[in-house]
Structure 1
Amino acid sequence: MNDQNTLLQIDGVTKVFPGVRALDNVTFSVLAGEVHGLVGENGAGKSTLMAVASGALVPEKGRVVINGAETKGDTDAARRLGLAIVRQEPALMPDLTVAENLYLGVPIEQRPSLMNTAQWAQQLLRQWSDDVAIDANERVLSLNPEQRFIVEIVKALAAKPKVLVLDEPTEHLLAEDVDRLFEHIRKVTAASCSVVYISHRIREVQKIANRLTVLRDGQGQGTYDAAGLSEQQIVELIVGGALDREFPAKAGHERAGVVLDVVSLRGAGFTDVSVQVRKGEIVGLAGIDGNGQREFMRALAGLARSRGSITVNGIPAKIQTSQAAAASGIRYLPGDRHRDGIFGELSVRENFSLRSLPFDSIHGWINQRSEARRTKLAVTGFAVKTPTVETPIRSLSGGNQQKLVLASVLASNPEVLLVDEPTQGVDIGARMEIYKVLRQAAAAGTAVIVVSSDALEVAGLCDRVSIFSRGHIVKELHDTAVNENNITSAVLTATTERERGSASIPGFWKWASGDWAPLVMLALAVCALGIYATHVNDTYLSARNLSGMLALVATLAIVAYGQQALMLVGGIDLSVGPLMGLMVVIQSFFLNDGASMMHQLSGWVIVILIAVAVGVVNWILVDPFRLHPMVATLATYMALQAASLLLRPVPGGLIADSVVEAIGTQAGFVPVIAIFAVVLAVALEFALFKTRLGLTFRGVGSRVEAARMAGVRPHRTLLAAYVGCSLLAGVAAVPMMAQVGSGDPSSGINYTLASIAAVAIGGASLFGGRGSFVGSLLGALLIVQVNVVTSFLDIGDSWQSYLLGGMILASVALYSKSREMAVAK
């Protein structure tokens, strides 16, 4: 082989996980301008090998050479050398827009100005398709699975890679988009790019690949010319021998009783759908995606609203919620297992038993031995490759996750089984096992309904097929008419148009999930409360009252900015209040009347150093030591408060009048510190949405692993957030100094919860990725306003707590609901 033509060379790579040798001395090379297929069963090591190639995993032995340069387990180095990868689960940050994800996904030198990102991204999307139904300004969380995959592919192509890795790229794509993908593959290989194509769909590999390499149990089984092997030969190489590829025999069901009877069901995306499923029968739903078949299935599962008549074994079924549907015997196997099928942090055992807990519990107490025994039987029966049943399910391959979810659903003994894409991401051998299991479930009396984009799968598995078009069943195929050609023909002749566009989201909820909604609603609340207070007591708008309010708002707003910066990356800091108090206590020893300029300057240097040190300590506890942010910063809270009490057991040490007057300088009746707080909010807001630093903060908070794959350094970002939060708390201590006037060790305590409340009311996500500094400013204004108004109205201090608590609950509930409504189903 000519080394000059080899763009990716993997030599003797071995990768070991606890209890598993995922790769064993694997060698693999890809030539310039070729499509190299990489095939094997689930768990064979395909994705692991490409993770090693991309630098996401570091092997125990071996080396990776990209475009002539060796990498050392560094994702940034692999990206710079020209490797781009499309993963089975798109590495996108859900709270960022499509444009922002594309921006972070390409090398720095290819990025446009952040001012022009949306236009640039839309042009990239149009290169995929002239009529692409994806808005570059949409957040990724509102895209459906197919759209997310298209964005992931466009992101990889936009990087202009020398080596392009496609890991199961077509699992969520329609046939027309598969054709588009193949066109793009041919274009990039014509420009001497290398493509590694990983897929369980053997026909696709044969169609697009020049050569293919087979992996089995972490070992290479040879490299072959793709054109020189038949489909059956490839399958036998994958499984290590001959495989029965016949679908299980279809059972006669003409006289069998009806298990599921659906009459005139209607809902979003479908109308007046009637279906019957008899014992021993599997019914398939086919049609161009977006024509109602999946919406109908989700409605049956209780995941979408619907109206109509449904009976299960003659008993009326309730499907208002998924819990009600499950109680009626209806269970659903989702197609998007990463979002809807698994609990990533829980073990294999827990994921299996969750859907059938009554089998392992006595009076609500779980018998873990029973759980483990049933899970081991399922793992064996479904050939799930896992080190132990206690292994977190997120560490399993996609196909093994799918098999375990199916085993979990069937373990609940459902009356009706709804299956969306039963073999998505599953290897050839496992597919046959799943087909047999579904046929056995039907024979045992379960009504089985299957939605699949694979016409051959529908034909081989199903007894009867209903064709959907524009929300209606327009044709039904029976008996010998159920074959691949008839299904494809019926789908294409029923409709030649696909209804495009994002999921239907009510206008209000779409607006409420955006960045402007919290600002508008807060502004309206502030105005309404101000108008009411003025109506009751006209001194509310006096210059003296407004000046005092604005000074308090500035103090709370500035510390809230620090809290917001940290919450953007998924953190929180309970220590900001005691840190502010400590700053005031320390300065009470330095900023006294008669103190020299050098003495005062020493005080400022000390408090700045302490603020930085506190931020670093918090980061060390949270990141390297992996403590929960609330636990870590609560410890810092207590340590700082103790330090303040040691220095000033009782309030003392008057701040010099000259310092107080300088801090309290006003422009008219407006404190200069309030003007500073407003300018700072606008500057930080601009930085958040229009600079790379702001984008990395939101990216890390949205999905840290996807941000890391995009070249962001999460550890550095988190360090910057903690240090920035502490520094802003130190800045907020300056106006507080003028308000307190002496070294009071308890002066800052209330600012911890108040700063969190201001950020929450301002529309921030408690999980990271979303927020607004202007929102934090308005949140601080509303909190101070409530405190002042209750005094003016003489309604008691308790109402401050009632009103603030109600506002926080309302804000968080509205945000959570709008986020839920904005997520594509």
Structure 2
Amino acid sequence: MNDQKTLLQVDGVTKIFPGVRALDNVTFSVVEGEVHGLVGENGAGKSTLMAVASGALVPEQGRVVIDGTQTRGDTEQARRLGLAIVRQEPALMPDLTVAENLYLGVPAEQRPSLIEVAQWARGLLTQWSDDVAIDANERVGSLGPEQRFIVEIVKALAAKPKVLVLDEPTEHLLTEDVDRLFARIRKITASGCSVVYISHRIREVQRIAHRLTVLRDGQGQGTYEAAGLSEQEIVELIVGGALDRDFPAKGNNSGASVVLEVAKLRGAGFTDISVRIRKGEIVGLAGIDGNGQREFMRALAGQTRSRGSVTVAGVPAKLHNSRSAADSSIRYLPGDRHREGIFGELSVRENFSLRSLPFDSIKGWVSQRSEAKRARDAVTRFAVKTPSIDTPIRTLSGGNQQKLVLASVLASHPKVLLVDEPTQGVDIGARMEIYRVLREAAAAGAAVIVVSSDAHEVAGLCDRVLIFSRGHVVKELGENAVSENNITSAVLTATTEREKGASRTSGLWKWAAGDWAPLVMLAVAVCALGLYAAHVNPAYLSARNLSGMLALVATLAIVAYGQQMLMLVGGIDLSVGPLMGLIVVIQSFFLNDGASLAHQLSGWGIVLLVALAVGLVNWMLVGPFRLHPMVATLATYMALQAVSLLLRPVPGGLIADSIAESISAQVGVMPIIAIVAIVLAVVLEIALFKSRAGLTLRGVGSRVEAARMSGARPQLTSLAAYMGCSFLAGVAAVPMMAQVGTGDPSAGINYTLGSVAAVVIGGTSLFGGRGSFVGSLLGALLIIQVNVVTSFLDIGDSWQSYLLGGMILTSVALYSKSREMVVAK
């Protein structure tokens, strides 16, 4: 391939992390039209090398050249030069739809109009498979692991890259999807694209790669023609010597006592499963994914509801939830470690001990000495590569995370061990170690159940295998019948029919998790409350009351729009209320009767600069200085309130009547400021869902790193949100001026809580990524309506607080529960 053009060249790259030399003078090149395998154990440096190539990491030494251009450690530049990367954990934004993720994932010049984005996305998904079961309008957070990975691959292919990096691309894919992937790889390499294929599955690398490069402990071990090496030779290059690749010997359990007995267990996805598992036995659950084997395992783990009989060592097990299952000595190792297996910000030590705290506790107090000793022993036993036991687990490679999670589960000494994809994302050497540990756990007396998509793994590890098809166990293989061929044959020849049943998630919960639910529920609540108040007191519907109430709604709604903008990116601003009060105080010096036009304009200019300056200061405290948004804006809150009190220790300075009247002008019963608030809500709502800026805002709030990899600039987006929030708080201060009429330093205090409440009640996620400006408008309307109704019904001001608190709690509980119900497990 010497005469072919080099599309990716990595020269002498060295990358050092604290305590670890991840890459040591590594050189690597890929030519056009080739599939280049990159293999090595976990922690060998494969993902780090590709992160350097993609610009996500900047090396201490060396250079990266993409299609003849040297890069400068910039992910956006690497994307423009034609490098696309599919990571082990898909870089997708969960609160955005599939179509929106695909839109942000391709270069700007390839993006369609946002009005046509759903149809465009469906076309891309259809290119992957004519019968792909992924809805372009579905949020990514509700997709299963294999569906998310397909979306990630489709996104990378849609960018029409010159260099495509695939990092463990088949770990979550079904067999037919692996075949589709390989067909696409062959098609794009035939047109001149090059592919870097990172995988622990040696057979796959041999099947698809032209050349392969081996990394070991951060150093290159040479580049070879893939066809010129046997599987055993590749393994020896990876581990640095010969490796025993035989599975551990199986035991004879025919006379052992029964540990787990399941009788007629049924739940979502499976029906009437009965099985008895003896002490020391490993039982595999096989079948095409989605045929009930994982659902059955999750039910045993207390993750989903089920009906039937389950006993552990003769004692009835309670499977109400994962805690009760654990109390029955049933422990579960999840297949999706990123979402269910690890606590990313906690240390290796804490992640290990959390599942077995009683071993480190004395009367409820944790002994750190015991915890540290057990964690160090586990790290040594499982060969977990980590700088220390206090290193955050998120910084470890995928395989080392998996080994530590397995160690933490086994540390609780369960009687029943449930393992989903035990070696997913784990290198050759670690796989053998995991197989040995699972066999030792069985030999120690545990009943082990394994779900794996690898028939070779199931056959080599398990004593018996249950074949699942459409929710039923259709065949049992035991003793000599457990072989890869028999498992595959039984899976492919099953003819059962799935029992009809209800969907896992009801239509009501799916609707409640959508964007329309908060709007509809708020509209119903507003109408019901209004009708009740009018029935009790007809004066509620008087023109005077309605116009006054709408003016208050407009003020709260406009400041809520600013709060909404910020909460979409995961922030919050507690300073909006004092900022509104300060603006009124400042204007009380400029908008008096008899003030010249120039003097009034000076006032408007000053308050505009103050609002923007506050937004900039808040952003600097949160961004560059890395303070928590609540801490930063609370400090700004106190500073602004102090300035207001210095300027006006007591209320003073009347706003000119002519100005107040202009601000309070009406069209019939409708205040002009209310019309402005409604129009602004509609415009902002359209922009949020139909403009690139709105999509970026939601993307950054949904998942910062994924948004950055898609070309967004999170810091700039955050700056715009903080400036926008303060600006809209300044706009909201204008109608408040007419309502207060004087420079009152405490006038805006209540708008801080009110703005947050309106946004939350309107359906916004407290974690960012989801929200609605129309929802904020309706939330503001409901809050003001409650305040007014309590006066008309003469039930006391305390009820305003009771009702507001109740609405916030109900909204958060309902929206959170509904979104939890539709998120794929």
Task: Return the TM-score normalized by structure 1.
Answer: 0.99
Aligned residue type for 2:305? R
Cα distance change of structure 1 residues 121 and 498 upon mapping to structure 2, 3 Å threshold: farther
1:521 maps to 2:521: yes
Q: Distance in 1 between matches of 2:121 and 2:307?
A: 41
Answer yes or no: is the 8 Å Cα contact 1:282–1:447 preserved in 2.
Answer: yes
SS at match of 2:332: strand
Question: Which residue does 1:600 correspond to in 2?
Answer: 600
Q: Distance in 1 between matches of 2:428 and 2:495?
A: 31
Question: Which residue does 1:358 correspond to in 2?
Answer: 358
Question: Which residue does 1:54 correspond to in 2?
Answer: 54
Question: Which residue does 2:180 correspond to in 1?
Answer: 180
Q: Deviations over 1:242-278 (max 9, x none)?
A: 0000000000001011111111100000011011111
Q: Distance in 2 between matches of 1:96 and 1:66?
A: 30
Q: Distance in 2 between matches of 1:391 and 1:151?
A: 32
Q: Deviations over 1:444-498 (max 9, x none)?
A: 0000000000000000000000000111101000111100000000000014999
Q: Distance in 1 between matches of 2:467 and 2:694?
A: 48
Answer yes or no: is the 8 Å Cα contact 2:474–2:496 preserved in 1.
Answer: no
Structure 1 runs not aligned, ≥5 long: none
1:336 maps to 2:345: no
Q: CA deviation at 1:370?
A: 1.0
Q: CA deviation at 1:524?
A: 0.3
Q: Distance in 2 between matches of 1:479 and 1:517?
A: 54
Answer yes or no: is the 8 Å Cα contact 2:522–2:782 preserved in 1.
Answer: yes
Cα distance change of structure 1 residues 501 and 336 upon mapping to structure 2, 3 Å threshold: farther
SS at match of 1:383: coil
Q: Distance in 1 between matches of 2:296 and 2:803?
A: 43
Question: Which residue does 2:137 correspond to in 1?
Answer: 137
Q: Deviations over 1:389-445 (max 9, x none)?
A: 000000000000000000000001101000000000000000000000000000000
**After superposition, where does 1:363-512 map in structure 2 within 5 Å?**
363-495=363-495, 504-512=504-512
Question: Which residue does 1:639 correspond to in 2?
Answer: 639
SS at match of 2:493: helix
Question: Which residue does 1:100 correspond to in 2?
Answer: 100
Answer yes or no: is the 8 Å Cα contact 1:262–1:311 preserved in 2.
Answer: yes
Question: Which residue does 1:783 correspond to in 2?
Answer: 783
Question: Which residue does 1:797 correspond to in 2?
Answer: 797
Q: CA deviation at 1:822?
A: 1.0
Cα distance change of structure 1 residues 500 and 93 upon mapping to structure 2, 3 Å threshold: farther
Aligned residue type for 2:452? S
Q: Distance in 2 between matches of 1:281 and 1:20?
A: 40
Answer yes or no: is the 8 Å Cα contact 2:415–2:446 preserved in 1.
Answer: yes
**After superposition, where does 1:193-212 map in structure 2 within 5 Å?**
193-212=193-212
Aligned residue type for 2:473? I
Question: Which residue does 1:747 correspond to in 2?
Answer: 747
Answer yes or no: is the 8 Å Cα contact 2:471–2:499 preserved in 1.
Answer: no
1:41 maps to 2:64: no
Answer yes or no: is the 8 Å Cα contact 1:503–1:824 preserved in 2.
Answer: no
SS at match of 1:62: strand
Q: Distance in 2 between matches of 1:500 and 1:108?
A: 45
Question: Which residue does 1:655 correspond to in 2?
Answer: 655
Aligned residue type for 2:44? A
Worse-matched range after superposition: 364-373 or 765-774: 364-373
Aligned residue type for 1:642? A
Aligned residue type for 1:635? A
Cα distance change of structure 1 residues 131 and 784 upon mapping to structure 2, 3 Å threshold: same
SS at match of 1:14: strand
Answer yes or no: is the 8 Å Cα contact 1:46–1:198 preserved in 2.
Answer: yes
Q: Distance in 2 between matches of 1:116 and 1:363?
A: 61
Q: Distance in 2 between matches of 1:489 and 1:495?
A: 12
SS at match of 1:494: coil
Q: CA deviation at 1:2?
A: 4.4
1:10 maps to 2:10: yes
SS at match of 2:284: strand
Answer yes or no: is the 8 Å Cα contact 1:134–1:502 preserved in 2.
Answer: no
Answer yes or no: is the 8 Å Cα contact 2:465–2:478 preserved in 1.
Answer: yes
Aligned residue type for 1:381? R
Q: Distance in 2 between matches of 1:313 and 1:650?
A: 75
Answer yes or no: is the 8 Å Cα contact 1:144–1:503 preserved in 2.
Answer: no
Question: Which residue does 1:758 correspond to in 2?
Answer: 758
Percent identity of paired positions between Structure 1 and Structure 2: 83
Q: CA deviation at 1:233?
A: 0.5
Answer yes or no: is the 8 Å Cα contact 1:648–1:744 preserved in 2.
Answer: yes
Cα distance change of structure 1 residues 17 and 494 upon mapping to structure 2, 3 Å threshold: same
**After superposition, where does 1:99-248 map in structure 2 within 5 Å?**
99-248=99-248
Cα distance change of structure 1 residues 431 and 585 upon mapping to structure 2, 3 Å threshold: same
Q: CA deviation at 1:669?
A: 1.3
Answer yes or no: is the 8 Å Cα contact 1:114–1:690 preserved in 2.
Answer: yes
Answer yes or no: is the 8 Å Cα contact 1:349–1:372 preserved in 2.
Answer: yes
Question: Which residue does 2:580 correspond to in 1?
Answer: 580
Cα distance change of structure 1 residues 811 and 585 upon mapping to structure 2, 3 Å threshold: same
Q: Distance in 2 between matches of 1:762 and 1:222?
A: 58
Q: CA deviation at 1:504?
A: 3.3
Q: Distance in 2 between matches of 1:725 and 1:553?
A: 18
Q: Distance in 2 between matches of 1:233 and 1:497?
A: 45
1:769 maps to 2:769: yes
How many pairs align? 825
Answer yes or no: is the 8 Å Cα contact 2:469–2:496 preserved in 1.
Answer: no
Q: Distance in 1 between matches of 2:336 and 2:507?
A: 26
**After superposition, where does 1:312-331 map in structure 2 within 5 Å?**
312-331=312-331
Cα distance change of structure 1 residues 561 and 499 upon mapping to structure 2, 3 Å threshold: farther
Q: Distance in 2 between matches of 1:539 and 1:35?
A: 77
Task: Return the TM-score normalized by structure 2.
Answer: 0.99
Answer yes or no: is the 8 Å Cα contact 2:472–2:496 preserved in 1.
Answer: no
**After superposition, where does 1:674-713 map in structure 2 within 5 Å?**
674-713=674-713
Q: Distance in 1 between matches of 2:41 and 2:673?
A: 64
Worse-matched range after superposition: 460-469 or 488-497: 488-497
Cα distance change of structure 1 residues 317 and 502 upon mapping to structure 2, 3 Å threshold: closer
Cα distance change of structure 1 residues 303 and 360 upon mapping to structure 2, 3 Å threshold: same
Cα distance change of structure 1 residues 275 and 500 upon mapping to structure 2, 3 Å threshold: closer
Q: Distance in 1 between matches of 2:241 and 2:734?
A: 76
Q: CA deviation at 1:369?
A: 1.3
Aligned residue type for 2:634? L
Q: Distance in 1 between matches of 2:271 and 2:511?
A: 28
1:81 maps to 2:81: yes
SS at match of 2:160: coil
Answer yes or no: is the 8 Å Cα contact 1:502–1:824 preserved in 2.
Answer: no
Aligned residue type for 2:436? K
Question: Which residue does 2:295 correspond to in 1?
Answer: 295
Q: CA deviation at 1:769?
A: 0.3
Question: Which residue does 1:561 correspond to in 2?
Answer: 561
Q: Deviations over 1:39-98 (max 9, x none)?
A: 000000000000000000000000000011011110000000000000000000000000
SS at match of 2:11: strand
Worse-matched range after superposition: 736-745 or 367-376: 367-376
Q: Distance in 2 between matches of 1:316 and 1:763?
A: 42
Question: Which residue does 1:283 correspond to in 2?
Answer: 283
SS at match of 1:510: helix
Q: Distance in 1 between matches of 2:497 and 2:439?
A: 33
Aligned residue type for 1:21? R
Answer yes or no: is the 8 Å Cα contact 1:30–1:36 preserved in 2.
Answer: yes
Q: CA deviation at 1:287?
A: 0.5
Q: Distance in 1 between matches of 2:658 and 2:4?
A: 74
Q: Distance in 2 between matches of 1:818 and 1:19?
A: 44
